């Protein structure tokens, strides 16, 4: 009887222990889920924004084409299934500001397979089983920040994918994947040198930061400026960078002859509203006026310098004339007195001889 009671108590204790273990495991899972949900709910604000270019939202798995801070196109994409990061060999999508350094695939049919950024001649349909290639179009990115400078060597692209069924979820090995129809359209809307910002935040948060006057703006030359001085910085920064950098002198002369260097460097974005490359016609007029004032001041200073040198030369010439006249006037009396002395001596000799 005592043995059976002991066995019963032992069995009950074991069941209680198992129950406590299950409860502890369930609580741990609940805490982990809560922490992960809090992490997912956190939507960080970008530290800087791009007014004209591309923004990639890792959180939303979306890409938006921006013009003057407004989204004019939006596409579903896929970033890396390994997360975000810039370490080589990590297969992660890098954060930060990039630029489009090359475009490959103009005129190729949709579904053209590319290897090492070269068309292979093979065309495949979307979601073909067993195929996960780069197709249709390729835009290679170059990192502009210290944390993503290896993006070019890592071969980070915006490209079409054959696995279109996975678009909208993280599925790539570091690149930004798009559907063939979408990447062909985007390819025709962007130019080499356009900015590409890859951010953790949602697209809505990024567009909200575009309107915030406290958020720095990334300009077309990669420099950063505050919104209050963005228009002037767009004009001045490329010129200052060209003038201070170790640039070919002939290239600077060519740009100066061509006109406004800042406007010439920026690609054309839109024809409406009299804007070119995000620079207004009034801003270009102001810059042209300042350039003309600078040129007139330089020419006036040059003319003053030439006048001063001519006055100096004329004064030197007058001094030489005066010196020469003095020498000539002092030399003539000496010559006359010498001749008269010779004549006197001759006459005295003739008188003594006679």
147-194 pLDDT, tens per residue?
A: 999 999 999 999 999 999 999 999 999 999 999 999 999 999 999 999
Give the Å distances, CA to CA, from 337 to 243, 302, 324, 329: 72, 54, 21, 13
- pLDDT digits 0-9 by tens, 210-242: 988 888 898 877 788 887 655 444 444 443 333
Mean pLDDT of 124-148: 94
Q: Count Cα neighbours of 160 within 13 Å in the Cβ-side half-sphere.
A: 30
The residues facing 199 across adjacent strands are 57
Task: Judge whether 175 and 158 are in contact, CB under 8 Å.
Answer: yes
Whether the predicted pLDDT of 18 surpasses 90: no
- Choose the weakest-confidence range: 74-78, 85-89, 166-170, 325-329: 325-329
> Would you say the C-alpha torsion 61, 67, 71, 72 has a positive or negative sign?
negative
Whether the predicted pLDDT of 316 surpasses 80: no
> What's the pTM value of the predicted model, to 2 decimals?
0.56
- Choose the weakest-confidence range: 50-54, 73-77, 255-259, 315-319: 255-259
Maximal CA-CA distance, the chain:
192
Whether the predicted pLDDT of 63 surpasses 60: yes
Token pair, residue 252, equals 């600077």
Whether the predicted pLDDT of 33 surpasses 90: no
What is the model's pLDDT at position 326?
A: 54
- Choose the weakest-confidence range: 85-99, 142-156, 322-336: 322-336
Mean pLDDT of 14-41: 55
Whether the predicted pLDDT of 113 surpasses 60: yes
Neighbours of 301 (CB within 10 A): 10
With pLDDT > 70 as the criterion, what percentage of the chain qualifies?
53
Output the CA angle 99-260-282, nearest 5 degrees.
Answer: 95
What is the model's pLDDT at position 47?
A: 86
The residue ranking higher by pLDDT, 134 or 302, is 134
Token pair, residue 77, equals 């994409």
């Amino acid at each position: 009887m005592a043995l059976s009671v002991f066995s019963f108590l032992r069995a009950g204790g074991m069941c209680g222990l198992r129950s406590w273990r299950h409860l502890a495991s369930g609580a741990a899972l609940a805490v982990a889920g809560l922490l992960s949900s809090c992490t997912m709910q956190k939507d960080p604000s970008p530290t800087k924004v791009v007014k004209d270019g591309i923004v990639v939202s890792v959180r939303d798995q979306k890409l938006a084409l921006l013009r003057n801070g407004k989204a004019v196109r939006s596409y579903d994409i896929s970033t890396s299934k390994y997360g975000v990061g810039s370490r080589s060999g990590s297969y992660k999508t890098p954060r930060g500001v990039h630029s489009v350094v090359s475009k490959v695939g103009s005129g190729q049919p949709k579904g053209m397979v590319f290897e090492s950024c070269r068309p292979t001649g093979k065309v495949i349909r979307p979601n073909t089983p067993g195929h996960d290639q780069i197709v249709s179009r390729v835009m290679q990115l170059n990192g502009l920040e210290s944390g993503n400078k290896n993006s070019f060597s890592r071969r980070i692209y915006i490209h079409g994918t054959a696995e279109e069924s996975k678009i909208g979820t993280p599925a790539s090995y570091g690149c930004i994947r798009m559907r063939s129809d979408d990447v062909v359209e985007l390819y025709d809307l962007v130019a080499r040198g356009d900015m590409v910002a890859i951010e953790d935040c949602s697209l809505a948060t990024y567009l909200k930061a575009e309107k915030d006057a406290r958020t720095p703006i990334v300009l077309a030359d990669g420099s950063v400026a505050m919104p209050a001085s963005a228009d002037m910085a767009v004009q001045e920064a490329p010129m200052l960078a060209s003038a201070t950098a170790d640039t070919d002198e002939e290239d600077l002369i060519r740009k100066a002859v061509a006109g406004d260097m800042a406007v010439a460097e920026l690609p054309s974005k839109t024809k409406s509203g009299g804007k070119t490359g995000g620079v207004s016609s009034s801003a270009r007029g102001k810059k042209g006026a300042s350039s003309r004032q600078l040129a007139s001041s330089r020419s006036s200073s040059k003319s003053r310098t030439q006048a001063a040198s001519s006055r100096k030369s004329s004064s030197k010439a007058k001094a030489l004339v005066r010196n020469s006249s003095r020498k000539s006037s002092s030399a003539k009396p000496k010559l006359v007195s010498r001749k008269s002395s010779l004549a006197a001596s001759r006459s005295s000799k003739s008188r003594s001889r006679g």
